[in-house]
Amino acid sequence: MTTYNATQIEKKWQNIWEEKDSFRSEIDHSKTKYYVLEMFPYPSGNLHMGHMRVYSIGDVLARFLRMRDYNVIHPMGWDAFGLPAENAAIENNVNPAHWTASNIENIKNQLKLLGFSYDWHREVNSSSPDYYRWSQWLFLLMYKRGLAYKKKSDVNWCNACATVLANEQVEKGLCWRCSSVVEPRELEQWFLKITDYAERLLNDLGQLEQWPERVKVMQQNWIGRSEGAEIAFQVKEFPGEEIRTFTTRPDTLFGVTYMVLAPEHPLVKPLVAGTEQEEEVLDFVSRVRQETEIERTSEEAPKIGLFTGRHAVNPVNGEEVPILVGNYVLMAYGTGAVMGVPAHDQRDFEFAHKYNLPIRVVIQPEGEDCTGQTMQEAYTGEGCMVNSGSFNGLKNTDGINEVTEHLKQQGQGNFRVTYRIRDWLISRQRYWGAPIPIIYCEQCGVVPVPESDLPVELPREVELSGDRVPSLAHYSDFVNVDCPDCGGRACRETDTMDTFICSSWYFLRFTSPGCDHAPFETEKVDYWMPVDQYIGGIEHAVLHLLYARFFTKVLYDAEMIKVNEPFRRLLAQGMVYKDGAKMSKSKGNAVTPDDIVKQYGADTGRLFILFASPPEKDLDWNEQGVEGCHRFLRRVWRLVTEGSEAFMVGKDTAGHGEDETSLQRNLHAAIKKVSSDIEERFNFNTAISAIMELVNAIYAYRQAKEKEGCNHKVLRETLEKTIILLAPFAPHLAEESWEILGGKDSVHSQHWPSFDAKMLEVDRVEVVIQINGKVRGRITVPANCTEEQLVEEARANDRIGEMLKGKEIVKTITVPGKLVNVVAR
């Protein structure tokens, strides 16, 4: 017997798979297609355990489904644009393109060492011109459809990254990549109108039955739909000028005692012009506008309001209330103006107390008599409308509609839905991205680059002398261009696109990677889409996963694809921890896939990562657990090598008795469990434990038959099927074992075994006897025993009879094949 040499075996089969092009996928209408996709990596240098986990999960599924006769597509590529390439370029004095290319080569080799079954013919690289050409083309599609526009506004600026960020890319006021504080900056930037799709992005979450609840909830929160009314207040001092507010509580309109504008509100300046308060207010406004999001939204930040000297007129009762400017009102939400109803909103209540503003109760809780003086906090519950003119006596829940309807008829308001989500800011002031295909002409203004001129290529020679890679504005050859319309002097847009654009459609490109006349071929995209199983980290719950859904819907509307949701089923895998901390180089607790491959082999690493925890839960890396998995694979290896020697030289001496039947029953039970655990539940950990049990059963059988010898036919069949079951998890060892056992072709081209229900049947079953719900004995009865017989048998049992002596049997409950419960007093 030879020892298990993982390195040698793995190298051998990786070469064979590559030579035979084993994982190539083509359209085949005779089979059901299945698209298995894991989020493609950013090629940052080395693969880490998080990568190994996602890709191991995907590979098990892909290999399993192929054996289940699905036509599986399982592609891989590179999310290759992005800032780290620029930073590395400066540090190492190397062109970002070259740095990226060498990382890709490295990571690709690492993926190959792990034995993942990708169709490398479909490899895509988002930073190559033949890919970003179509990212640009899609931008132009958005532009044509009115979904891309440029506007000047306050945007999130990250100083460390020297670029702006989308709202989704700011976490608690910090840059998602480098964690530095994000500042507001007024710039003219390109946006995509994702808000036009807010309603559909929200509603269609309902279709995504196979997505984890938490991801759907996170997207729901992010989109943040709220229903209410928009109400117009006239400005007393400027007849004809109105302030529009959004509220979810139009029923409290009669309780308005003041109005607050955001500092950025366009009416602030004209309103205060010429008042005593002008200087103070403008000073306050400029101060607030310089604050970072952290400063402005921190818990300690006091709510400050300043009177503008002007008044708003309540449309329902003509009352005049002071207009203030407040630091807590956000221009980007609703209308940037808030009506203050202190009696029925806790924040307004506190604000009113601070500034001595009147509190007027307009919703009275049943059986109580609240007044502004006696209230300790705002009343936000249901009640009866009071102090509300003709609406008095109405239930406030009805009042919401009635008041809005009234305003609508008077032309002073309307029903309105507001979303928290903002348009997607896609401009980036960086070099290493896809250039935005827009030209600014002195004569014609904004001119989209004609499709035939795509791609707008990045300058290849990069200046690497400073402390950062210069943006495209630095390259005059790039900037200066003739206008495509009039031929006159023009210049290019010098910002590049957010890399999330590239990853919003790569799953479509995988269906037709070489296509040079369109982003993808209709026939192919229609065959392969949607992605049947998508796997990736939870960190993209509202970034990539929201953007990709948006792109898909736009392409659906443009009639380029037939699906309006890209990912049918989603698995958000947990993180990899070690010693209670997230595994990372900086914490010094990192174990790399390379280490594992070297020490134990890829099969051991893959097996452990799948066995240690169910995929959606966090996983704690444990060296001894890895050794346990390696031990298991060696146990399998010994069975195969010793078994094959026995098959060749030994005589088949044993007949077919109880032991053989039992072994076969173990086999079929394992087939059943492993199949359903992979296919229905994704519980790879329990699938693996079922294979371990089967292997233990084979060892037990061999030991039981040590003297008289095994039934080789049964043993061999069991062993072969065990190897097939193991193939998705430990593909190299399975392949080698298959060869040793004399199997035909590759183990991976075998049909997945089906279990025979007859094999699972037993003649006799053990049944638990309970008295009042407690286990008091066990009996073995024929499997087809009737309930009556079962009760008879139970009561006939000596011990049970003893315990029931002198008691009255109230009733008996039987669960066939499982238990008898005797209820006795």
Site for RNA in 332-361 (CB under 7 A): 333-334, 336, 338-339, 345, 347
Q: Which of 20, 31, 681, 713 binds RNA (CB under 7 A)?
A: 681
Residues 51 and 529: beta-carbon distance below 8 Å: no
Determine if 689 is a binding residue for RNA (CB under 7 A).
yes
Determine if 401 is a binding residue for RNA (CB under 7 A).
no
CA distance 795 to 624: 49
Size of the site for RNA (CB under 7 A): 88
Q: In the complex with RNA, which residue's Cβ is closer, 342 or 593?
A: 342
* Binding residues for RNA restricted to 547-576, rule: CB under 7 A: none
Task: Taking the CA atoms of 592, 594, 598 and 603 in sequence, report the sign of the dihedral they define.
Answer: positive
CA distance 202 to 210: 16
Least CB distance from residue 419 to RNA, whole Å?
8
Determine if 579 is a binding residue for RNA (CB under 7 A).
no
The 8 Å CB, 24+ separation contacts for 620-625 are 620/577, 620/578, 620/580, 621/49, 621/576, 621/577, 621/578, 621/583, 621/591
**Distance, C-alpha 21 to centroid of its chain:** 31
Q: In the complex with RNA, which residue's Cβ is closer, 289 or 634?
A: 634
Determine if 392 is a binding residue for RNA (CB under 7 A).
no
Determine if 709 is a binding residue for RNA (CB under 7 A).
no
Least CB distance from residue 221 to RNA, whole Å?
4
Longest dimension (CA), the chain: 110
Residues 239 and 600: beta-carbon distance below 8 Å: no
> Which residues are CB-contacts of 325 (< 8 A; sequence separation ≥ 6)?
260, 261, 262, 263, 265, 268, 281, 284, 285, 305, 306, 308
Q: In the complex with RNA, which residue's Cβ is closer, 431 or 701?
A: 701
Q: Which helix (H) or strand (E) holds 416?
A: strand 413-418
Determine if 696 is a binding residue for RNA (CB under 7 A).
yes
Least CB distance from residue 572 to RNA, whole Å?
10
Q: Which helix (H) or strand (E) holds 566?
A: none
Identify which range of 266-274, 476-484, 504-512, 807-815 contacts RNA by CB under 7 A: 807-815
Q: Which of 327, 471, 711, 746 binds RNA (CB under 7 A)?
A: 327
**Distance, C-alpha 132 to centroid of its chain:** 24
Q: In the complex with RNA, which residue's Cβ is closer, 77 or 340?
A: 340
Q: In the complex with RNA, which residue's Cβ is closer, 249 or 748?
A: 249
Q: Which of 12, 150, 569, 635 binds RNA (CB under 7 A)?
A: 635
Determine if 218 is a binding residue for RNA (CB under 7 A).
yes
Q: Which of 44, 95, 387, 685 binds RNA (CB under 7 A)?
A: 685
Phi-psi region of 717 (alpha: psi -120 to 50; beta: other; left: phi over 0): alpha
Least CB distance from residue 695 to RNA, whole Å?
8
Phi-psi region of 784 (alpha: psi -120 to 50; beta: other; left: phi over 0): alpha
* Binding residues for RNA restricted to 419-438, rule: CB under 7 A: 420
* Binding residues for RNA restricted to 443-482, rule: CB under 7 A: none
Least CB distance from residue 200 to RNA, whole Å?
19
Instruction: For residue 687, give both structure tokens.
Output: 């699938």
What is the DSSP code (8-state) at residue 197? G
Q: Which of 247, 504, 722, 797 binds RNA (CB under 7 A)?
A: 247
> Which residues are CB-contacts of 635 (< 8 A; sequence separation ≥ 6)?
695, 699
Determine if 772 is a binding residue for RNA (CB under 7 A).
yes
What values do phi and psi take at 580, rounded to 5?
80, 0
Determine if 414 is a binding residue for RNA (CB under 7 A).
no
Determine if 764 is a binding residue for RNA (CB under 7 A).
no
> Which residues are CB-contacts of 37 (< 8 A; sequence separation ≥ 6)?
58, 74, 75, 507, 510, 531, 533, 534, 535, 567
What is the DSSP code (8-state) at residue 368? -
The CB density around residue 806, as the number of other CB atoms within 10 Å, is 6
Determine if 224 is a binding residue for RNA (CB under 7 A).
yes
Q: In the complex with RNA, which residue's Cβ is closer, 463 or 579?
A: 579
Q: In the complex with RNA, which residue's Cβ is closer, 558 or 813?
A: 813
Determine if 292 is a binding residue for RNA (CB under 7 A).
no
* Binding residues for RNA restricted to 607-626, rule: CB under 7 A: 611-614, 617-620, 622, 624-625
Determine if 766 is a binding residue for RNA (CB under 7 A).
yes
Determine if 415 is a binding residue for RNA (CB under 7 A).
no
Q: In the complex with RNA, which residue's Cβ is closer, 267 or 554?
A: 267
Q: Which of 228, 435, 437, 448 binds RNA (CB under 7 A)?
A: 228
Determine if 128 is a binding residue for RNA (CB under 7 A).
no
